[in-house]
Amino acid sequence: MRKAFLLTLGLLVLSFSAMAQQVDRTRFKAGLQAGIPVGDAADISKFSVGLDMAYFWGVSELVDAGLATGFINAFGETNTVTVGNVTVESEFEDFQFVPLAGAFRIYPTYDFNFGADVGYAVGINEGNEGGFYVKPSMGYNITGNTELNVSYINISNDGNFSIVALGVLFLF
């Protein structure tokens, strides 16, 4: 039983080593994003900016898997509501998150990719607990080392905080 386990383990290591030699697409990506909060988040913020970073390993000719993180800042806004003769002003602070996620990308062509980041977004500012983080995205390689992408960011806890973002990533 032990010999069978060791033989199986050895074959797996050899096959992953062979695959890693065939698909040497390890890469680091970093870039900036700008977005517009949607849904409930649009009531408390009108604009967001962020930093994206990810490290990917080539799993096959079509698939990369890796780890992603970054920083998201959604700027709070002031809302004024008038009911009859009473005007109430609400001021919202900035919302800040640091996502920690697993990531995958599928490359149907060399220039086009789609995929998602899934994990947890840590809330940075006071009173922000963070939540489950999902970021589906589509990217287009505009030069050999620059990618333009569109993504939908959703952070959910008791409610949903969602952003539609446009970003540019640089491959290193």
Residues with Cβ within 8 Å of 95's Cβ and at least 6 positions away in sequence, in order, are 41, 44, 45, 72, 73, 74, 76, 123, 125, 128, 161
pLDDT tens across 94-128, in order? 999 999 999 999 999 989 999 999 999 999 999 89
Are 106 and 62 in contact by the 8 Å Cβ rule? The answer is yes
Nearest to residue 152, comparing CAs of 170, 130, 133, 132? 133
Q: Residue 159: pLDDT band by 50, 70, 90 thresholds?
A: confident
- What's the pLDDT at 158? 86
- Tokens 């700027």 sit on residue: 75
53-86 pLDDT per residue, tens:
999 999 998 999 999 999 999 999 987 767 778 8
pLDDT of residue 10: 52
**pLDDT at residue 13 tops 70:** no
Phi-psi region of 127 (alpha: psi -120 to 50; beta: other; left: phi over 0): left
Cβ(29)–Cβ(169) below 8 Å: yes
Separation CA 159–CA 42 (nearest Å) = 13
CATH entry 3.40.50.720 includes domain 25-171: no
Checking if the pLDDT of 89 tops 90, the result is no
pLDDT above 70 (res 133): yes
The residue type found at 123 is G
Can you give the residue ranges of every domain in the chain? Answer: 25-171
> What's the pLDDT at 78?
84
